[in-house]
Amino acid sequence: MQITLLLLILGCLSACRKSSGPPPTLFSRPDSLSIAALTGSKDTLSISSSTSWTITTKESWLTLSAGGGNGNGTIVCTAANNVGNPSPRIDTVIIKAAEARNDTVIITQDAGIVVVVGDSEPGDLIYELNKPYGLYLDALNDVYVADFMNNRVVEWAPGAREGVVVAGNDMGGNGLWLLSNPTAVSVDASGNVYVTQYENTQVTKWAPGSTQGVVVAVDNITGNGLNQLYNPSAVWVDAHGDIFMVDHNNNLVVEWAPGATQGTVVAGNGIAGAGLNQLNAPNGVFVDATGNVYIGDCGNNRVVKWAPGASEGTIVGGTGVSGTALNQLNCPWGVFLDQTGNMYFSDNLNNRVMKWGPGETQGKVVAGNGTYGNALTQLIYPNGVWVDAAGYIYVSDLGNCRVVRWAQ
């Protein structure tokens, strides 16, 4: 009788063990997500489970593609844009399943405004800037900055905490190893750095790793001849190696072919004025793939486009009258076109960056808030502007001695 009872008990225990089975599994990959600040940014969670589950979020800025599932599945996490916010956002997503240990995923969204170069204080240390003017981004998103008062060009890799000097050596002068008030920088496909020098009235080319430059346009001679410049303020090198220079005080844009001893006028007539065949204190320049030249015509409060061989330009931004309305500019400086033809202008004296879509008659503010100040939401006399492949806007914030990246 005792043996029979023991066998019955063991049989029941065995049956119970068989019926209970292994505990349910539940886990997600990755353990954390980082989502960009750009509009519509998203990422995906992969859920592994042997049972049904639910997923919830605490924050209104994060949207989940589903509230749960049964077995393995994926959840798309979409963040509302963080444009204009200088702080990152954090959410904890909770995944639950019956009889399984809850899983959590930390989701962080990048700040909408980030300082990427400089520390917002003027200085000559390798992590500082002093009046940054023009900038350039290469295919790796390395940022090249014309550090005006430090008489150098510095290159900053993404995420770097200090830069590398690629032209000049902090001492102003007219030797080939020196720069004097560099205003703009452009980089060709071989990594050669081209620099406009406002005070030396020349453009020099610096090969990668070199300790001195080579004069490619004018040898420190001020004048209005085709072999001369007068305080150049911007430079652009196209895919053919042709160099486009903004000849600020001659109110021209000139093109120099590789090895040329003089340039060809591609915009302006050399006389300051508001006619469509004239420029007035031009500053920024951008050349598109078909050779159209876009110019920040500061003194005329407009941006103009000159087609190849044209005798006059077309106004593509601003009205010619300074103002703060969305169809007006006040001394536009840097100019950039993105891959879809949107135009970006650093509206220098309005302390903002404007974006104009193709054919639009007014723009919208995409960086700065139009007020002078040192908060991350503000700019002081923005200069160079660039937009990377992801759509982030980079701005030389001259008065704040920094380069700032804005989401849009």
Region 167-173 average pLDDT: 91
Q: For 268-309, write each residue's pLDDT tens digit.
A: 999 999 999 999 999 999 999 999 999 999 999 999 999 999
- What does the alpha-carbon distance between residue 295 and residue 289 come to, in Å, rounded to a whole number? 15
Give the pLDDT mean for 8-24. 52
E strand residue ranges, 67-131: 68-70, 73-79, 89-96, 103-109, 113-117
Residue 341 contacts residue 331 (beta carbons within 8 Å): no
Please report, for residues 12, 18, 22, 157, the alpha-carbon distance to residue 15 in angstroms, rounded to integers and kept in the order given. Answer: 5, 5, 14, 64
Q: Which residues contact 350 (CB under 8 A, 6 or more apart)?
A: 324, 329, 330, 368, 370
CA atoms within 13 A on the CB side of 121: 5
Mean pLDDT rounded to a whole number for the chain? 93
- pLDDT recorded at residue 109: 96
Range 126-147 average pLDDT: 97
pLDDT > 60? residue 103: yes
- Give the pLDDT of residue 239: 95
Give pLDDT, residue 91: 96
pLDDT confidence tier of residue 101, bands split at 50, 70 and 90: confident
| Tens digit of each residue's pLDDT (9 = 90 or more) over 194-232 | 999 999 999 999 999 999 999 999 867 789 998 999 999
Answer left, alpha or beta for residue 168, where phi above 0 means left and psi between -120 and 50 means alpha.
Answer: left
Percentages helix, strand, coil for the chain, rounded to the nearest 5? 10, 45, 50
DSSP assignment string, 362-398: S-EEEES-SSB-SSTT-BSSEEEEEE-TT--EEEEEG
Token look-up 């969204």 returns 109
Model pLDDT, residue 8: 41
Q: How far is CA 353 from CA 143, 156, 329, 342, 349, in A?
A: 18, 22, 10, 13, 10
Distance of CA 368 to the CA centre of its chain: 14
**pLDDT, position 167:** 98
375-397 per-position pLDDT tens digit: 999 999 999 999 999 999 999 99
Residues 6+ apart with CB under 8 A from 59: 89, 91
Q: Give the pLDDT of residue 53.
A: 95
39 or 363, which is more confident? 363
110 close to 35: Cβ distance less than 8 angstroms? yes
CA angle 93, 99, 105 (to 5 degrees): 15
Q: What does each C-alpha distance from 263 to 64, 207, 218, 251, 267 come to in angstroms?
A: 58, 22, 10, 14, 12
Whole-angstrom Cα distance, residue 63 to residue 70?
A: 20
Percentage with pLDDT > 90 across the chain:
88
Q: Say whether pLDDT at 1 is over 50.
A: no
Q: Tell me the average pLDDT across 80-107.
A: 93
**37-41, 238-242, 297-301, 370-374: least confidently modelled range:** 37-41
Exposure string (b/e) for 149-179, b if CB count within 10 Å is 16 or more? Answer: bbbbbbbbeeeeeebeebbbbbebeeeeebb
* Residues shown for the chain: 408
Is the pLDDT at 16 greater than 70? The verdict is no
pLDDT-based confidence at residue 21 (cuts at 50, 70, 90): low
Answer for the pair 348, 354: CB distance below 8 angstroms, yes or no. Answer: no
| pLDDT reported for residue 20 | 55
